[in-house]
Structures are given as C-alpha cells and as structure tokens.
Amino acid sequence: MSENLKTSGAEDKKYSYSQRLAAISDNDAATERPDAVIAVPRVTVYPRNIVEDIIYSVNVEQFGAVADGVTDCTASIQNAIDYMSERGGGYVNFGCGMFRADGIILRKKIVLRGQGMRKTTIKARDGWKSRAVIETENFDDINSVPDSPGAYYSGCTGLTVHGNLQNYAITPSVDAGYGVLHYGSDQIFNDFSVIYAPGIGLRTEGGATSRDKFDQEEPDGGVPFIGQFQRIRIAKCGNDGWHFGGIADAFIEDVEIMHAGYGYMAADDPRSFMDPAERVACFRAWASVDIGKMHCYGTWAGYGFVAGTNTLLYTIRVKYDHLITESCLIGCYFKPKAVVQGALLDVHECSGGEPVHGSFKKTSVAIFAGTAQNCYFATVRLVQTTENYNGVHILVSGDRNTFGSIEAYRGFRADNLSGTAVWITGSNNQIVSGIINGYLGIDAEGNPSSGVVFAGGKNNCCDIQCGNGNVGFRLLSAGSITDGRLRALPGLIIQYDNFELLTDRYRARVALLSIGGHGNRDILYSEFLDMSDTDVKQIKFPVDMSLPYIPSRFELSTTYEILATHGRKDYPQFKFIRYDRATSTPEYLVFNYQMEAISEMDVRLAIKFN
C-alpha cells in the first residue's frame, strides 16, 4: 500500500467503483491500487435546487460588518436583514464584539441573533439622530392600520443594544431616542438587554392583532401567537425602561430593569414620554401581561413598576409571580383600571421623597388604587430601614382589593424608626392577615407614627396585628373599618387611637384585642361584691390597659359567679345590676347594683363584650 493512501487518512475506507483507478492489461486486471489514487468524498446534488434555497441564516460579517467598535456597520447589517427578508425570513447572526449601527429596520420573520448579551453589542454611532437603534418596519401602522400583525415573528436574542445616550444629536422624545421600537405579534426577545438609550429603552406594541389580517399576510400560518420575553435586562435609559404596550397577555420571565430616567434627580421631576402626567418608570404596563419574576430598582426620580393606563374605557390584567421593587422614589403603582392577580410583591428601601400622590408631604411607596374589578395580592412585603424614608408607605385607595398578607417592617425594637405603614382611604378592601412592626416617632406628616390609619372609605375588613411603635391603629373615619380583628402587640405607646368614632354597630363587628391586656372581646371580673345590706352600691372593673373607647351598654353582657357558698343557702338575689357609662372611663368600667336580700356567699360580677 502506498504512502499516498496513508497520508490521505483513507487506507481503511471502501471506495465506490467510480473512485477506483484500475491498471488493465490485455490479459489481466490489476490487483493493487496505483500510488496516485486519492479518496474523494461524494457530494450529492439534487436537481432543481440552488445554494440560496437552503440558506436559513447569514452572518453580518458576510456583508462587511466588523465588530471592532469603530466601523459603521449600519448598511452591512441592513443588507443582511434585507437579504434574509427577501428569502422568506430567518436568522441574521452576529459574532462577538461591538458593532456600531443605528436606524436599523427589522423586517417581519427576521431574528437578530448574537452570541450572548455580554458578548455581542450593537451600539449607536456618535451623533446619531434616528428614531431608534432598532425599529420594526412599518411601526407607524400602529396608528394607521388597526389590528395589523406588524413585524411578526421578529426580535432579538443573545445581544445588547447600546443607545450611546451621551452622543445623541437631537432631543429625546416620544418619537426619538429609543433603544428598540417593536410593533408586531409573536415577538421574540431572549437573552437580551438595552442600555443607555437616550429615551425609552424598549417599547413593545402589539394590540389585538386581527386573525383575518394575519391570514392575509401568512396564509396557513395559524394564529398570531403572543411571543416570548425571557432573560431581559434594561439599564440606565433616559426615560422609561420598558414601555409594554403589547402584545396583550404576553408572558415575561426573568426581567431586571434599573435606573430609568438616568441622569435625573428626584427633584427634576422627569416625566414619561408615553404618559407625561406621570414620572418615568422602570416598567409601565399598558396591556395585559403575565410576569414570572421581575426586579425593578434604582429609579430615584420615579416609579419601579406601573400597571394601568389613564383611560377609563378599558381595563388591563396584570399577573405576577414574584415582583421586586426597590431603591425607587415609588416602588409600585397599581392604577384604577388595572386588574391584578399577584403572588409575592417585595417593596423595600423606596424613598417616597417627593409629594407625588395625594396631599402627602412624601408620597407613598406602594399604591393600590385598583377599582375596576376584584384585585388579589397574595403577599405584600415591605421593609424600610432608612431613617428618612418616613412617609406613608402603603396607600390603599382603591376598591375591592384583597390582600392575603401585608407584612411591613420599619425596625425591630431598638432600631424602630418613624413613618406610617398602611393608610386606607378606599372601600370594600380586605386584608386577610397582616403584621406591622417598628413604627416609632413622628412621621413626615407631623403625626405620631402608626401601624394602620383608617382615614376614609367604607366597609373595609381587616385582620392585622401591630407592635413596637407609637400608635398601633388610628381611626379618622367612622365607617372606614366595619369588620375584622385588630391586635395590639407589646411595645405600643398607644394601642388604639380615636376608636370612639366607631358606632355601636361596628364595635360589635370589629374586635380590638391585645396580647397580655384587654380589648373589646374580653371577659372582665370584679372584686367580691359587698352583699351585707340592700343599699345601692358601686363597683369598678379595673382594666390592665386602656380600652380604645368607653363601651356602650349594647356591647356588654353581665352575669355573676359564685366562688364559695360557705355552706349557706342564701343565694344572691339582685334587684338590679346596671352599667353606668356616664361615670366609666377607658381605664375602668363602673357598675351599680342592689341586693334584694343579704347574702354571705363569695360572689363577683363578670362582664363580657359581645
């Protein structure tokens, strides 16, 4: 066997007849291959096909793009997109590095695919003026062609879009300075980030895509699917981080958004381009959305999370599994027309440092204003340990909101700080359980720090316990709470403030309890009664701690208890036992009684709150 065959690496392979070279003589066939034989692998070519027919993706480098962070790659990237678009769609691939480009028009059925959000970057050029670094074709159809499927089946994966905020040549606005501007059904954004956009980082729109119009675009394409949004990071954009306008009911998973309104201070009052009536936000939902885990933080000039539009014409549904908002001016705002189904909401270290909502000197950091339908928040957990975050923290101003649990912590005994945990002005809300701790001192409104303030509304039902603070529960409006249980834990200076406003009807329905003391659901016992004569006598029931008010006679039931008969048969006979509310105080209750006859048994009175 020749050395040629050995070096070809093919000495053990079988060869087809067409690959053999035979030395044929007049008398004999060769038994050995000549030294010149070299193995050639087969290539099968099917008829009626060309190379272009089987290309499913291209690389932008094939069109002249260079990932050196300097070269203008706009035309190269656009040519690659257009090339794939003309062939029915596919992937446009990017290698590692930084590509300089902006004003890129993304076509339907085209996905820009990099090597990972930390490996591939598309950065806008210095002095750029385009509306967006990347925008979908026919974006303005959102206004002119209702229910259009837009640039469907398109998006970005495995890359970062850098908006070059410091070098944008015109003033950002609702029409200028986007990172990515996308309109269409079945959007695709995975392993994707936007940073330093001059205006809004990411704006996605979809609306209610018409199936008929989709069928015209994509015969036999089924339905316009919702799309996918996974592992998205947005940071340091000049306006809103992500304005979510659709597509409705999209599922979003693993999202982190930080520093919306980048470059602005809280006092600058930066307004959202999409909603000028409000400050900027990390995430603003104007369409129904299902959220897995989302973390919004670092927006000291605005909101972490906003759900709902300003129109009263329609509602949006917002569902989340785990929503975290921290280090913002306002952590979250659930607006009146937002219908919420929430699992765990974690709000912490939000300043509330500007008077944004209501008449408060400092705004609330978690605002529940839903009035459209029943909203449900399984767990709301708030922790505020910074000293000057001393405003009203949770504002419940909406109707028909149900909270499975509210947990609010300002401190733990020695580190208690000022502020008010929950302020209720809405109606028909229910707090199934709650625990509040550590609100001590004078809050930003100049009032004693409180656990819960019932400031307005009606027919709210609450089961909450509060400890370690100035005031546990404060009542400013008689009908604000009408059912429930309030528990005063140890460490409160005043357990119940102004609860004399409760009417007799609601006193019977609202249990005011305390650990180690008395409340309006207790049984109290007197000292032994003096039954040595038949004169009218008075007895006081001492109370270990102050009652929240002087109870009415309708709240109390009275009986007596015989502790010892001493062998006597002269059982006590009372002419009357009468509650004397006029001389009673929250410190002790006064009863007058008179005997029909003398008795030497040991007897005491017992009173029970109804």
4 membership: H or E segment, kind and range: helix 3-7
Comparing 21-25, 454-458, 560-564, 597-601, the range with the smallest average pLDDT is: 21-25
**pLDDT above 80 (res 284):** yes
User: Average pLDDT, stretch 217-221?
Assistant: 76
* pLDDT at 37 exceeding the cut of 50: no
Respond yes or no on whether the N-terminal peptide bond of residue 55 is cis (omega within 30° of 0). Answer: no
Class of domain 55-238: mainly beta
Q: pLDDT at position 209, please?
A: 60
| Residue where the block lists tokens 């975290």 | 324
Q: Is the pLDDT of residue 160 over 80?
A: yes
Q: What is the tens place of the pLDDT at every residue in 499-533?
A: 989 888 888 889 888 876 667 777 788 889 999 99
pLDDT number for residue 546: 59
Name 577's Cβ contacts closer than 8 Å, sequence gap at least 6.
Answer: 558, 560, 591, 592, 593, 605
Do 305 and 281 touch, CB atoms closer than 8 A?
Answer: yes
- Per-residue pLDDT tens digits for 575-604: 999 999 999 988 888 999 999 999 989 999
Report the relative pairing of strands 375-383 and 401-409 from DSSP bridges.
parallel
Q: Which amino acid is at 452?
A: V
**Mean pLDDT in residue range 454-474:** 95
CA dihedral angle for residue 161, residue 166, residue 171, residue 176, rounded to 10 degrees: 0
Task: Give the end-to-end CA distance of the chain in Å, rounded to a whole number.
Answer: 109
Segment 179-194, tens digit of pLDDT? 999 998 889 999 999 9
CB 499 within 8 A of CB 548: yes
Under 8 Å between Cβ of 452 and 479: no
Beta bridge partners of 311: none
Handedness of CA 303, 304, 308, 309 (dihedral sign): positive
> Computed from CA positions of residues 225, 77, 81, 200, in that sequence, does the dihedral angle turn out positive or negative?
positive
Phi, psi angle pair for 270, to nearest 5°: -70, 130
Q: How confident is the model at residue 150 (pLDDT cuts 50, 70, 90)?
A: confident
pLDDT > 60? residue 17? no
Cα separation, 603 vs 217, in Å, equals: 91
pLDDT band at 51; cut points 50, 70, 90:
low
**How do the domains of the chain map onto residue ranges?**
1-43, 55-238, 252-350, 361-516, 523-609
Per-residue pLDDT at 47 = 46
Mean pLDDT calculated for residue range 302-330: 92
Q: What is the pLDDT of residues 72-111, one digit of tens each?
A: 999 999 999 999 999 999 999 999 999 999 999 999 999 9
Span 147-173, mean pLDDT? Answer: 94
**What average pLDDT does the structure give for the chain?**
87
Could you tell me the pTM of the whole model? 0.84
- Please list the residues that pair with 440 across neighbouring strands: none
Higher-scoring residue by pLDDT: 43, 538: 538
Residue 588 pLDDT? 85
CA distance 415 to 421: 16
